[in-house]
Amino acid sequence: MDKFSIKALNLYYGDFRALKDVELHIQPSEITAFIGPSGCGKSTLLKTLNRMNDLIENCKISGEILLDGEDIYGTMDVNLLRKRVGMVFQKPNPFPMSIYDNVAYGPRTHGIRGKQALDEIVERSLKDAAIWDEVKDRLKKNALGLSGGQQQRLCIARALAVQPDVLLMDEPTSALDPISTSKIEELVLELKNQYTIIIVTHNMQQAARISDKTAFFLLGEVVEVGNTESLFSMPKDKRTEDYITGRFG
């Protein structure tokens, strides 16, 4: 079964049609990359998958998005949806509190209060985000004192703490230096063993390095989707080829 099944999806901001009849099937335990020029709809689609667009005035959606066969815009509780579908943003956004409290924040909101349980969740999440060894001796320190790359890995740990099924990543390395970017990419490849990952990236080399499937967006439409290696080496649509080769304009 598809992890996400997206059918005939249209999204409007007022009269502007930002997504046009999107059809897409996201497989479990794979990394799917969304690529395309700025303003093409890839981040807009990403935000529909955990209903963040609900927060935008005059946003209207038609079509169907199924998570494990269940309509996320039907009777599914939005808080449960966001527990199952975590989000990591373009710029690291740790809360202005301790490293420990950043990771424990989500579990606490879902009713976990016991110290031992929280300690275990914090340690596991930080280990899964490959940052435990760097912060284990300063868990009570303010998270804003971490480097940019460490902050982003902390944000990944925070997302993992509620044990989601899916991890959405909106250009998670665009604000980071090459070394931090490499660490995040290595982490993402490790995490796909446990999670379904969808990543928006402007960096086509990054998509080629880490993703199993790639979808190319243009003007709110999915132009082409397929195995990353095939799509990059033998694109079927000339618009995809022009974008990949840099002739797009």
Place of tokens 């320190």: 141
Q: Tell me the mean pLDDT per 10 residues along the chain, length 249.
A: 97 96 97 95 96 92 96 92 95 96 95 95 96 97 97 97 96 92 95 96 94 97 97 94 81
In 3D space, the residue among 205, 208, 177, 211 whose CA is nearest the CA of residue 191 turns out to be: 211
Q: How far is CA 220 from CA 19, 37, 38, in A?
A: 4, 10, 11
The whole-angstrom separation of Cα 59 and Cα 47 is 12
Do residues 167 and 160 make contact, with C-beta atoms less than 8 angstroms apart? yes
pTM: 0.94
Query: What CATH number did the domain enclosing 104 receive?
Result: 3.40.50.300
- Report residue 156 CA to chain centroid gap: 10
Q: Which residue has the tokens 């880490």?
A: 210
Average pLDDT in the chain: 95
3-state secondary structure 64-126: EEEECCEECCCCCCHHHHHHHEEEECCCCCCCCCEHHHHHHHHHHHCCCCCHHHHHHHHHHHH
Could you report the per-residue pLDDT of 31-80, keeping only the tens digit for each?
999 999 999 999 999 999 999 998 899 999 999 999 999 999 998 999 99
Q: How many separate domains does the chain show?
A: 1
User: What's residue 246's pLDDT?
Assistant: 83
pLDDT above 90 coverage of the chain, percent: 94
Task: Check residue 249 and give its pLDDT.
Answer: 54
Q: Is the Cα dihedral 95, 97, 100, 106 positive or negative?
A: negative
- Residue 48 has a pLDDT of 97
Burial 195-232 (b: 16+ CB within 10 A, else e): bbbbbbbebbebbbbbbebbbbbbebbbbbbbebeebb
Predicted local confidence at residue 54, as pLDDT: 87
What is the pLDDT, as a whole number, of residue 89? 93
Length of the chain: 249
Domain carrying residue 98:
4-245
**What pLDDT is attached to residue 235?**
94
Residue 206, H or E segment:
helix 204-210
Question: Which phi and psi angles does 142 have, rounded to 5°?
Answer: -65, 130
